[in-house]
Structure 1
Amino acid sequence: MSQALSESQVSREDEPQAVHGTADLRFQPLVRAFGKVFADLRPGGGALAVWLRGEPVVDVWAGTTDAAGAEQWERNSAPVVFSASKGLSSIVAHRLADRGLVDYEAPVAEYWPEFAANGKAAVRVRDVLNHTAGLSQLPGVANNANELLDHRLMEERLAAAPLDRFAGRPAYHALTLGWLLSGLARAVTGKDMRELYQAELAAPLGIDGVHLGRPASDSSTRLAPLVDPYARFSRLCSDQMLDALARRRATRPLAESVYAGSGSARILNEIHLAGVDAQMPAANAVATARALATIYAAIAGDGSVGGARLLSPAAVARFPRKRSFRFDRVLGVPMMWHMGFHSAPLPGLVKGFGHVGAGGCFGWADPARGLSVALVHNRLPSTFVRDLGVFTWVVPLALRAVRRAGSFPG
């Protein structure tokens, strides 16, 4: 497929509501499906990128980047990808482990001595990556939204916090995973996670398009602000709503994983306002689909892509595992967490691993097929229900294209 990305120019640049970019002709059904969602008249837009066997086969974008629907999405437009950030932050940790700076089986406190406080001396690096560290809940760690935007304070609070009631069992660390990884990384490198995104993700692959929070002014990446054209999301994330969820036994763990007292319920709104300038390694990475797919293309192969190495073959060989779904105490559904990634949310849907974020942004690797897929967009989740399920149709459509192309049997 060496000629793949030059085969088909998707549309002319003078077509404002079209899909732009390039794609292998055999992936046109996937591109058309993408266009049905993002090349419409609603404000907001997105981008889709696919790599196969170390080669780019899809790089397309559509829609707009502003609430008025006037500014066209461009090749370097990049939104906040919410929890897809967790996969990126985990890869930073894997880079450190690959160099021997971190051992997955070692206690976190071996590198971050303050973390041993309140009975956490035995919590391993692997426990953090697998969401079993027992620090999924925010009450007692953060009191308001301003504290959540102070990453150094959150690292210190988590280091001093006691284990919660889910220690040793899978419990989605919705926001805390990022600060735990950044505290660990700071302990062994002396650097912020924002610096490490550039040093450990962008630089090894020679790419721009991946940042923790707002891209630097000299970056070619252009932040695509999140839009909420129907003004539903703020109501959905009201303090009253999360207060109600916190009062119900079944939903309390989920509410408490993102809720930290008065004023913090609208944390996803905060991320695209003041929050985009903060460091929330579990939630506010900014990425183009092209950069995200490139990173996962390395993981879908031997750790390298385009002649640049991200991880050693031995490191990426640790990521796949036999499927083992366990009930997650926060999400209330069976999940398979492993090394900072998860499997398909629906068992049997697709193989591989990666991380999906709120609204459907995701990066995904399927090593068996040498396939990576990434989708990003800037529409808040309440703007369209169907996009919450984008993963469930984008990746299967990509797999069908691979089979049609004869690049992988079955």
Structure 2
Amino acid sequence: MLCDPAFRPVVEAFREGIGAGGAALAITAGGRIVVDVWHGTRDEAGTLPWERDTVVNVFSVSKSLVTTLAHVLVRRGLLDLDAPVSAYWPAFRTRTTVADLLAHRAGLPALRDPMPEGSAYDWDAMTAALAAEPPWWEPGTRHGYHAVTFGWLVGEVLRRATGTSVRDLVTAELGPDLHIGLPAHAERRAASVLPPEGSAGVAPAPGPVALRAFTNPADLLVPGAINTPAARRAQIPAVNGHATARALAALHGGLADLLGSDVLARATAPRSDGPDEVLGGRTRFGLGYMLPNEVRPFAPNPRAFGHTGAGGSLAFADPDLGIGLGYVTNRVLITPAGPDPRWTPLLEALYR
């Protein structure tokens, strides 16, 4: 384990907030790792210790990986954000741009008709259904969190722009211990996701868009499904990324070098800011990256960017502090709005 003395209060706050299960925290500053710590257990029985190379499902933090891939392609001239999606994906019916897909403005956060069992694990079935789906609102006019569809929508554009799957792009471009679709050889290192012990808030009654956005297809809602080989190995790029905290911190702390200043500035400028058609509160997004917002206030600096994940995972960069942070956990807490209570003390210590 590693902890620069200046960050000791952050690490103490991290350890105090873990509770049941396990977690890991990593922070980079000035291009070097200054915190790399882990604690607790990684299996359902609570007997296997969390280890340095333990990976875990980070849920929607996965979107930050997909987003970063998109901007890597932009920097290389392989992806035009202002181009219509149909320029890369001819069967795609909705008239919208790649930028609108990334900014949750395409109007495709959900599928109306129930998808057959197993569809979440079937890339072709999901992308074909989304290509034919009429938008829920006029693209570009409003935004709403594309909770699960984001990964298939953006991922299919990336696949068509490069001829390479999202799974292989992540491996080739973003480095070790970051995965969309966990390789079989890494399963022995994977922490089991523990079911929620309770709720830290009360979710509003979902409207028809939100209900379908989170439940169609329903495969991952089956108890225990998230820990099965089928769910781990599938390509569900919005929600089944697996990572270590160290890899997330290194990625986000190094985005300025990876993407270049111009590409990164465009990627992180507010593009969607206001009422969210799916989540109900006010959210903020750049071109794929989440920005601190009313629903998920993950950092006090509005210029921070990254993504939160259901259950508590978090990864972000703060360009003013020059840091990248990754926090991963296998103990799910349900926090419909507001920060995860485990983040609050460590972030207070970080920004003190």
- TM (norm. structure 1) is 0.77
For each residue in 1:342-393, what CA deviation from the matched residue of structure 2 results, as whole angstroms up to 9, or x when unmatched?
Answer: 211346833311100002201101112211111001112259x998333444
| SS class of match (2:171) | helix
For each residue in 1:229-266, what CA deviation from the matched residue of structure 2 results, as whole angstroms up to 9, or x when unmatched?
Answer: 75x69xxxxxxxx9xx8xx6x533221101126x5471
**Do 1:175 and 1:282's aligned partners in 2 also have CA atoms closer than 8 Å?**
yes
Find the aligned partners of 2:117 and 2:301 in 1 and give their Cα distance: 37
* Cα displacement (A) at 1:312: 2.3
| SS class of match (1:318) | helix
Q: What percentage of aligned pairs have identical amino acids?
A: 37
Q: Which amino acid aligns with 2:26?
A: A
| SS class of match (2:42) | coil
Find the aligned partners of 1:362 and 1:186 in 2 and give their Cα distance: 26
Which moves more between the two structures, 149-158 or 48-57? 149-158
**Do 1:136 and 1:173's aligned partners in 2 also have CA atoms closer than 8 Å?**
yes
Find the aligned partners of 1:86 and 1:378 in 2 and give their Cα distance: 18
Are 2:251 and 1:271 aligned? no
- Counterparts in 2 of 1:133 and 1:334: CA distance versus 1, 3 Å: same
Instruction: Tell me the equivalent position of 1:353.
Output: 305
Find the aligned partners of 1:145 and 1:387 in 2 and give their Cα distance: 33
**Do 1:67 and 1:229's aligned partners in 2 also have CA atoms closer than 8 Å?**
no
Are 2:194 and 1:227 aligned? yes
Find the aligned partners of 2:278 and 2:313 in 1 and give their Cα distance: 21
| SS class of match (1:319) | helix
| SS class of match (1:325) | strand
Instruction: Tell me the equivalent position of 1:318.
Output: 266
Find the aligned partners of 1:337 and 1:316 in 2 and give their Cα distance: 13
Find the aligned partners of 2:124 and 2:327 in 1 and give their Cα distance: 30
Task: Identify the match of residue 83 of structure 1 among 44, 60, 85.
Answer: 60
Find the aligned partners of 2:144 and 2:330 in 1 and give their Cα distance: 27
Are 2:169 and 1:196 aligned? yes
> What are the residue-to-residue correspondences of 1:6-405 with 2, within 5 Å?
21-38=1-18, 40=19, 42=20, 44-115=21-92, 117=93, 120=94, 122-140=95-113, 142-165=114-137, 167-168=139-140, 169-202=142-175, 208-217=176-185, 222-228=189-195, 230=197, 251-260=207-216, 264=219, 266=221, 269-273=224-228, 274-299=230-255, 303-304=256-257, 310-321=258-269, 325-346=273-294, 349-351=300-302, 352-382=304-334, 388-400=340-352
For each residue in 1:16-48, what CA deviation from the matched residue of structure 2 results, as whole angstroms up to 9, or x when unmatched?
Answer: xxxxx110111111101111122x5x2x10100
- Counterparts in 2 of 1:321 and 1:209: CA distance versus 1, 3 Å: same
- Counterparts in 2 of 1:366 and 1:25: CA distance versus 1, 3 Å: same
Unaligned runs of 5+ in 1: 1-20, 203-207, 234-241, 305-309, 401-410
Find the aligned partners of 1:47 and 1:107 in 2 and give their Cα distance: 40
* Cα displacement (A) at 1:267: 5.8
| SS class of match (2:115) | coil
Find the aligned partners of 1:48 and 1:139 in 2 and give their Cα distance: 39
Find the aligned partners of 1:371 and 1:136 in 2 and give their Cα distance: 31
| SS class of match (1:113) | coil
- Counterparts in 2 of 1:66 and 1:378: CA distance versus 1, 3 Å: same
Find the aligned partners of 1:129 and 1:90 in 2 and give their Cα distance: 7
Find the aligned partners of 2:236 and 2:102 in 1 and give their Cα distance: 16
Find the aligned partners of 2:36 and 2:162 in 1 and give their Cα distance: 34
* Cα displacement (A) at 1:322: 5.7
Find the aligned partners of 1:318 and 1:337 in 2 and give their Cα distance: 12
* Cα displacement (A) at 1:103: 0.7
| SS class of match (2:317) | strand
- TM (norm. structure 2) is 0.89
Q: Which amino acid aligns with 1:159?
A: A
**Do 1:350 and 1:395's aligned partners in 2 also have CA atoms closer than 8 Å?**
no
Unaligned runs of 5+ in 2: none
Find the aligned partners of 1:222 and 1:344 in 2 and give their Cα distance: 31
**Do 2:11 and 2:346's aligned partners in 1 also have CA atoms closer than 8 Å?**
no
* Cα displacement (A) at 1:221: 8.1
Find the aligned partners of 2:149 and 2:240 in 1 and give their Cα distance: 13
User: Matched residue pairs, number?
Assistant: 342
**Do 1:356 and 1:363's aligned partners in 2 also have CA atoms closer than 8 Å?**
yes
